[in-house]
Amino acid sequence: EAGVAQSPRYKIIEKRQSVAFWCNPISGHATLYWYQQILGQGPKLLIQFQNNGVVDDSQLPKDRFSAERLKGVDSTLKIQPAKLEDSAVYLCASSLGGSGVYEQYFGPGTRLTVT
Amino acid sequence: GEDVEQSLFLSVREGDSSVINCTYTDSSSTYLYWYKQEPGAGLQLLTYIFSNMDMKQDQRLTVLLNKKDKHLSLRIADTQTGDSAIYFCAEEYNFNKFYFGSGTKLNVKP
């Protein structure tokens, strides 16, 4: 079974520029998450999708971050304009969803550096 | 549920046992999880425990849960150099939402 794919793996941009990240979850996984992991911290949930609908985006800075999951499969996360404090690893995870033990499968992440 | 706390570092010798501790705040958490993150990789689920259990053993891993104190621990028996990584505990709150701790970096010395 192929894992969660993310691209690019690394990105360096200047502040005020725009950037987009892409995630392809495991086939058949209904739930998709985007997390922000700042160096030395645990992942912080930005947005959660169930199929192509948003379940939780309460911690997404909506003035500059946006995300979509068209057709309930791939997802993109965009930052426009970027700030220095956006430097982090952006992790995508997917899961079958539902109740019970809930295993999230994580992609390798995109490391963003804002200069 | 936002304050999931872990100690930052742990150093042990190969062959010793490692104990990584975590405290959480949401008493309604259904499941609590331990994830492992190796350099440059995403998180990988190691084990989990249901909130009505006190202990769970899975090969070299033992999870202890003290619900009264909201304390979770992960014991790794016979720690190997390949166990060097960052370990995150996570609590599940509401429905399929998670808070992660800040991670404990385990260093295993040969």
Q: What is the pLDDT of residues A11-44, one digit of tens each?
A: 999 999 999 999 999 999 999 999 999 998 899 9
Instruction: Give the one of A42, A101, A102 whose C-beta lies nearest to B102's C-beta.
Output: A42
Give me the mean pLDDT over the A83-93 stretch. 97
Spatial CB neighbours of B54, under 8 Å, sequence gap ≥ 6: B64, B65, B66
At B88 the pLDDT is 96
A61-72 core/surface letters (b: 16 or more CB in 10 A; e: else): eeeebbbebeee
**What is the C-alpha to C-alpha distance for residues A33 and B58, in angstroms, rounded to an integer?**
27
pLDDT band at A2 (very low <50, low <70, confident <90, very high): confident
**What is the C-alpha to C-alpha distance for residues B31 and A48, in angstroms, rounded to an integer?**
18
Cis preceding-peptide flag for A8 (omega within 30 of 0): yes
Q: What is the pLDDT of residues A38-66, one digit of tens each?
A: 998 899 999 999 988 999 999 999 999 99
At A100 the pLDDT is 65
Neighbours of A43 (CB within 10 A): 30
pLDDT band at B1 (very low <50, low <70, confident <90, very high): very low
Mean model confidence pLDDT for chain A: 93
Q: Is the pLDDT of residue B94 over 80?
A: no
Chain B hits for A93, CB-CB cut-off 8 Å, are 42-43
**Beta carbons of A106 and B88 less than 8 Å apart:** no
Q: DSSP code of B84?
A: -
**What is the C-alpha to C-alpha distance for residues A79 and A52, in angstroms, rounded to an integer?**
20
Q: Interior CA angle at B2 toward A101 and B27, to 5°?
A: 55
**Beta carbons of A104 and B101 less than 8 Å apart:** no
Q: Interior CA angle at A32 toward A23 and A21, to 5°?
A: 25
Instruction: Give the one of B40, B50, B98 whose C-beta lies nearest to A108's C-beta.
Output: B40
**Beta carbons of A104 and B45 less than 8 Å apart:** yes
Mean model confidence pLDDT for chain B: 91
**Beta carbons of B96 and A91 less than 8 Å apart:** no
